């Protein structure tokens, strides 16, 4: 947390403050207080997230969102590290893959329905939708803030295949932006996650950071570039480059308790940055492999990830050490 900020509600009573400081100092102190920690502002279909008084991201889940997503993501400096399209039309920005919305979590084949490329203008007979069931908790705090919500993964006829319970923890840190995701998918009916590369926990980066521009992907094993990372397994990958003159990056950590850990990476040189455990026949280029997984009704899968937005490159930011600290927390999410 930034030691120079203080909480929205202050650190004591007004009478106590008046006894300890001069009147002029008190006026200066209370005129424009800096906001500590994580704060939320709720709107129709959207929750805005601030960290130490600065905008960080917004969580979109309303009727105009084909799936819940976070947009934009910002570095501590305020620079936007995710692509604007399709939410924003930014001059000069590449406008491919309109289903790449900020940061999201879906899959391209669930009982044959597509929850990945599921924009409203996609094929209606194949398009799955992720709709809000309930916002359970929105709670800010000095060190972290928590959003808990449940969603329904529905087929084109409105039948619910999966119930997703999602917890997102946003941490206050003066040098990093850290988010923890705890995602539990419970089968309402028998569900098969099909073998396809199109999934699942994903970020679409600002194109200045992709490997066609300034960026470089680095895995936990030290492999670099798409040719050595796409379709390979690793507990973490960092995607770092230069954005408007600032060196920074984004790392995704795969929790050791996740299914089929370490995950495969569907990470591209044009800025798609995703984990996916279900795409084996694509990743191995071998149609005899089958990475699908079936859940019987009432059974569930739980995925946990950490996203770290950091200054500098992979080595100087000690991404390996940060991962080890995260991997040591084998219990429930840090917001519980």
Instruction: Say if residues 108 and 69 touch (Cβ distance below 8 Å).
Output: no
Distances, alpha carbon 241 to alpha carbons 80, 129, 209, in Å: 13, 34, 5
State how many domains the chain has: 2
What's the pLDDT at 226? 98
pLDDT at 335: 37
pLDDT at site 2: 57
Domain holding 233: CATH number?
A: 2.70.98
- What is the per-residue pLDDT for 238? 98
Residues 288 and 159 in one domain: yes
Whether residue 58 contacts residue 71, with contact meaning beta carbons closer than 8 Å, is answered with yes
Shared domain check, 141 and 153: yes
Whether residue 93 sits in one domain with residue 20: no
Provide the 8-state DSSP code for 9: T
Give yes or no: residues 32 and 123 share one domain.
Answer: no
**78 & 6 share domain:** no
Quick one: DSSP state of residue 316? T
Residue 180 CB-density burial (10 A; 0-12 exposed, 13-18 middle, 19+ buried):
buried
Cβ pair 26, 74 in contact under 8 A: no
What gap in Å lies between CA 205 and CA 215, rounded to an integer?
10
Provide the pLDDT for residue 21.
41
pLDDT along the chain (336 residues), means of 10: 48 38 43 74 98 98 96 97 97 96 98 98 95 98 98 98 98 97 98 98 98 98 98 98 98 98 98 98 96 98 98 96 89 38
Q: Are residues 63 and 24 in the same domain?
A: no
- Read off the pTM: 0.90
């Amino acid at each position: 947390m930034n030691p120079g900020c203080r909480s929205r509600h202050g650190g004591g009573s007004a009478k106590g403050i008046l006894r300890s400081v001069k009147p002029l100092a008190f006026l200066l102190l209370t005129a424009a207080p800096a906001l500590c920690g994580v704060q939320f502002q709720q709107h129709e279909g959207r929750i805005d997230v601030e960290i130490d008084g600065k905008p960080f991201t917004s969580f979109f889940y309303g009727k105009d969102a084909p799936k819940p997503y976070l947009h934009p993501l910002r570095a501590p400096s305020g620079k936007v590290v995710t692509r604007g399209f399709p939410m924003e039309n930014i001059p000069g920005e590449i406008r491919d893959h309109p289903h790449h919305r900020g940061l999201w979590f879906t899959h391209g084949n669930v009982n044959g329905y597509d929850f990945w490329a599921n924009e409203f203008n996609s094929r209606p007979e194949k398009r799955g939708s992720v709709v809000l069931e309930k916002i359970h908790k929105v709670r800010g705090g000095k060190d972290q803030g928590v959003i808990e919500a449940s969603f329904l993964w529905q087929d084109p006829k409105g039948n619910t295949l999966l119930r997703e319970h999602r917890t997102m923890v946003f941490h206050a840190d003066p040098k990093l932006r850290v988010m923890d995701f705890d995602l539990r998918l419970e089968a309402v009916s028998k569900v098969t996650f099909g073998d396809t590369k199109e999934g699942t926990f994903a970020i679409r980066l600002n194109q200045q950071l992709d490997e066609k521009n300034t960026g470089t992907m680095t895995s936990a094993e030290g492999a670099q570039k798409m040719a050595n990372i796409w379709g390979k397994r690793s507990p973490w990958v960092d995607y770092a480059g230069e954005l408007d003159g600032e060196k920074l990056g984004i790392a995704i950590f795969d929790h050791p308790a996740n299914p089929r850990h370490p995950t495969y990476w569907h990470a591209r040189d044009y800025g798609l940055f995703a984990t996916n455990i279900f795409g084996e026949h694509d990743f191995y280029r071998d149609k005899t492999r089958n990475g699908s997984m079936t859940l019987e009704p009432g059974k569930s899968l739980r995925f946990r990830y950490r996203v770290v937005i950091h200054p500098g490159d992979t080595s100087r930011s000690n991404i390996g050490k940060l991962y080890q600290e995260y991997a040591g927390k084998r219990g429930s999410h840090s917001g519980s």
